[in-house]
Amino acid sequence: MPVPISLIVDDSCPLVHVYAWHRRDVHGQPLVTPDGREIPLFIPNAFLDRFCDITERWGMAGKFSIVPAPGGCGDVVRGIDGFDPALTRAWLETMQRRLAARWDFCSEGITHNLAVNLETGEFFPESENAWSQRQDRTTLTPYLIHQLALLRDAGVDCTGVTSPWVFGIQVEPEYIASLVAAQKAVYGREFSWYFLHMLWNTPHRRPWIAYQEAGTTLVHIPALVNDYWWDTIDSPRTDAEFLNALTDRMLTRDGRAGKIREVLDAGGWPVLLTHWQSLFSSGLETGLVILDELGRRIRETLAGEVEWMNFSEIARRTACVESGNSDCRWVMPGPDSTDTGRSPETTRRTAPV
Ligand SMILES: [Zn+2]
């Protein structure tokens, strides 16, 4: 049976180049690459179409973040500040039309920038990540409800949640309780997933059940393959040697080396991490070229060994395998695959360290 392969796309959202805003507002860094090129504050809608062209070409699947109030600069419901709201709606429409069939959608913070004071609507003088680490379920739950409700009101069904940076990692039991409560409050959902942990040194690790109680299940899906596209943000290079070298770090042309190969050989499920800004490459879109080549290599060298899956499929398969079911073929994707929400009865699990 092929093992799941999946792509995490973080920091995506309409128009706003979230990483640029974060770089300026949280770190106080200039918006200039080391070779002197300006890092744009916005990303045109056509970039989403070019991303979809590639993922459709290779049948890729995974999870796709939508930062609901990106940079604190408007939001997905009323539109991005300074732009016609029709542009935000068009971005969301393209996302639904071209990605919904094979990708899970999720929130990723409210702003992915400074934390929001929900009582006043003002910003706290620290990032969401820093703020989260001192919270408990009484403050995390409304924070998660707010981000999910924005996306629900924009017509997006979020089957899970992505943690901006390592949101909540130091208070993870409280964070888990909040994730469960927020999904239930906003969507009435009792089976969901979240992404927080990046496990570069344990290639054998598979997703796990973080919470299971009274018919409610939360699966954690970790990233095992680092964002090798990231180097394109600050590099002016677009030559074949540069592109090949970065792609090789994930999978060589013959499929016999690279991090994906390492994960497969260790018995893990290759869940790859990338970011909207890593694919945009400060406007050069070098990252998209690498994604295209990687898709080709996976199809040509790993056919039969891996199968592209989205996060709902991986979560259901994890719940099935963890329940001790000897036959989990029913959780494989296919033309009749639907979100059944089936979650086998098992005893409560706690997240491993
Ligand atoms: Zn992020």
Name the H helices within the chain: 18-25, 46-58, 85-99, 128-132, 137-153, 172-187, 240-250, 259-266, 276-280, 286-302, 311-322
Instruction: Give the CA-trace dihedral at 153, 157, 159, 165, to 10 degrees.
Output: -50
Pick the CATH number of 3-331 from 3.40.47.10, 3.40.50.300, 2.60.120.10, 3.20.20.370: 3.20.20.370
Question: 109 with 67: CB under 8 angstroms?
Answer: yes
- Helix, strand, coil proportions of the chain in percent (round to 5)? 40, 20, 40
Cβ atoms within 10 Å of 116's Cβ, excluding its own: 21
Cα 64 to Cα 158: distance, rounded to the nearest angstrom: 10
Residue 18 has a pLDDT of: 97
Task: Name, in order, each residue with C-beta under 8 angstroms of 225's C-beta and a sequence gap of 6 or more.
Answer: 250, 259, 260, 263, 270, 271, 272, 273
Which residues, in sequence order, are bridge partners of residue 213?
A: 216
In the predicted model, residues of the chain with pLDDT beneath 70 are: 329-353
CA of 22 to the centre of ligand 1 (A): 10
Cα 14 to Cα 1: distance, rounded to the nearest angstrom: 37
What is the tens place of the pLDDT at every residue in 8-51? 999 999 999 999 999 999 899 999 999 999 999 999 999 999 99
CA of 106 to the centre of ligand 1 (A): 12
Quick one: how far is CA 122 from the chain centroid? 26
Q: Give the predicted TM-score (pTM) of the model.
A: 0.92
CA of 335 to the centre of ligand 1 (A): 31
CA of 72 to the centre of ligand 1 (A): 14
Query: What spatial distance separates the first Cα and last Cα of the chain, rounded to whole Å?
Result: 28
Residue 331 has a pLDDT of: 55
Cα 203 to Cα 144: distance, rounded to the nearest angstrom: 30
Q: Domain spans of the chain? A: 3-331
CA of 80 to the centre of ligand 1 (A): 18
CA of 327 to the centre of ligand 1 (A): 36
